[in-house]
Amino acid sequence: MKIALAQLNYHVGNFEYNSNKIIEAIKKSQSDGCDLIVFSELAVCGYPPLDLLEREEFIEQCTDQINVIAQECNTITAVVGCPSINTEPNGKKLFNSAFVLSEGKVQSVHHKTLLPNYDVFDEYRYFQPNSEFNLIELKGKKLAITICEDLWDEQPVANSFAKSKLYTQSPMKELKQLNPDMVINIAASPFSYNQGQIRQQIITQKAAKNNIPFIYVNQIGANTELVFDGSSLVVNSQGKVTKQLSSFNEDIQYCTLEDIDSNQTFELAPYDKMALINEALVLGVKDYFNKMGFKKATLGLSGGIDSAVTVVIAAQALGAENVRVLLLPSKYSSDHSIKDAEDLAKNLGIQYDIVPIKDVVESYDSTLAPLFTGLNADVTEENIQARIRGTLLMALSNKFGHILLNTSNKSEAAVGYGTLYGDMNGGLSVLGDVYKTDVFALARYMNRNKEIIPVNTIVKPPSAELRPDQKDSDSLPDYDILDQILFNYIEKNESPQKIIDSGFNKDTVNKAVRLVNINEYKRFQTAPIIRISSKAFGLGRRIPLVSKI
């Protein structure tokens, strides 16, 4: 049996595009003598379709396209992810399904059993869980079909309070009783910088435990916040990886049953956190623009580390010719910051303009003077500068049709160190899931072969430059400490007391946690954030705005 693994980039709701992509892969694999081709979860409609699943015409288009795709399967069998209608009188209207297509028609439909309802997932909102288990036969072999979470009944983070008792059923235990010769898993598994290792651990352990080879096909691409890295796998019955497809790229590869269960293992690339984050962010920006029909980006280039890393990602994703930046110095901006920003723009070959804001700030001060008589300058005046910059950037965005990229990092977003309607403006947050310490590491990674970001930008103390000699450390703990506290509180969901007990200063922890809690309303109003961690702000972290915690 010759099998094709089709790891493709789908566009949510773009049925003709997705269908054509699937059919093209079927025709090519069919002509190359493949017996089976496997696509990813909800390939026909794209993942995640969210509340589009509640529209009748959306589901009708899914059904129509499955039938169109089936007609192309003449000498090949295809496994394609698509929603299907639940015909039983009770339960949810839909299943999350894998369609088996051959001989020009739908031969069978297999439903997802475990429906994740945590972090960014909300599948039980739409789908009915599967309760029947069966196999398909092809070329004398019995194949079990599972869908993504069906392999995740045993979560690797057993010490997690939220995930300690997720499921009461194991699809693999049910399927194992039917003695399959191979397990196929079609997936839409989002990227985080440690997800690849966890995912591989889950699949290899399942294969070894059940003594069955596995084919795992994941999608690639980005749909707003979520990035999918692909990294599809073939695993032998001993739990060894014998093939891995590309990461962050479309890829179609062939294998035979002999290849799948061979003893020749695939040499996996060494883990490189910054390389993975860089690729994920580039793909996130690229697909957001392509799928939304945008072409050009703009942002404010300050000479600081966040805007520097953001503009490098934008240039990688869109091309230098499609990035235009504004340098917006105030009377507090240092000469070296302006020079650093200019040098970076020249290094990248992007268009830049210098628009000083001193006169605009003075006009605001003059206008507000009668209202502020007798009051000392404070954060109000600092925020005015940030909002002036935000207004000028939005003016450029409106006039030329450029999308403003937000440059705030996760540390700042967590503690509210940003100005609403100012530096928090933007259509997409590029670094909103990247802690400040990782932003510095990412900058050093970008400079690994040659200096792109000026070294001074990386080594100087971070500053918003909104008042004389301002430094971030005037208001916040050092980022080396702050980021560890934030990681434990946000990603690990630890209590303040537990963080204190692990060795962090009590006052520092309480201050950081208080800032996180009182700034939920700010994050609620921010741009979509490209997710690269296990717990990003946005869809995956839902905290009441008015809670008292």
DSSP per-residue codes, 62-76: HHHHHHHHHTT-SSS
User: What's at 410, amino acid-wise?
Assistant: K
- C-alpha–C-alpha distance, residues 451 and 197, integer Å: 31
* Identified catalytic residue from 148, 243, 255, 410: 148
Q: Is 41 a catalytic residue?
A: yes
**In angstroms, what CA-CA distances link 461 with 407, 443, 473, 480?**
17, 14, 8, 13
514: closest CA among 537, 482, 542?
482
Domain ranges of the chain: 2-264, 276-472
Q: Is 250 a catalytic residue?
A: no
**Sign of the Cα pseudo-torsion (456, 435, 220, 256, in order):** positive
What is the CATH architecture of 276-472? Answer: 3-Layer(aba) Sandwich (3.40)
In Å, how far are 80, 206, 228 from 96, measured between CA atoms? Answer: 11, 22, 18
Q: Which of the following is catalytic: 34, 41, 82, 206?
A: 41
Parallel/antiparallel/unpaired status of strands 182-187 and 214-218:
parallel
Assess contact for 307 and 335: CB atoms under 8 A.
no
Q: Which of 112, 206, 291, 296 is catalytic?
A: 112
Cα–Cα dist 494/143, whole Å: 42
Q: What is the 3-state secondary structure (H, E, C) of 77-123?
A: EEEEEEEEECCCCCCCCEEEEEEEEECCEEEEEEECCCCCCCCCCCH
CATH node for 2-264? 3.60.110.10
Q: Which of 197, 153, 42 is nearest to 534 (CA)?
A: 197
CB 351 within 8 A of CB 323: yes
Q: How far apart are CA 374 and CA 392, in angstroms?
A: 30
Strands 141-147 and 135-138: antiparallel
Q: Which is it for strands 351-354 and 323-327: parallel, antiparallel or unpaired?
A: parallel
> For the residues of 263-277, what is the DSSP string, one character each?
S----PPPP-HHHHH
- Consecutive 10-residue averages of pLDDT for the chain (549 residues): 97 97 98 97 97 97 98 97 94 97 97 94 95 95 97 72 75 96 97 93 95 97 97 95 95 91 82 96 98 97 96 98 96 86 97 96 96 94 95 97 97 95 96 98 97 94 77 85 97 95 96 95 94 93 84
148 a catalytic residue = yes
End-to-end CA distance of the chain: 58
Measured in degrees and rounded to the nearest 5, phi and psi for residue 225 equal: -75, -35
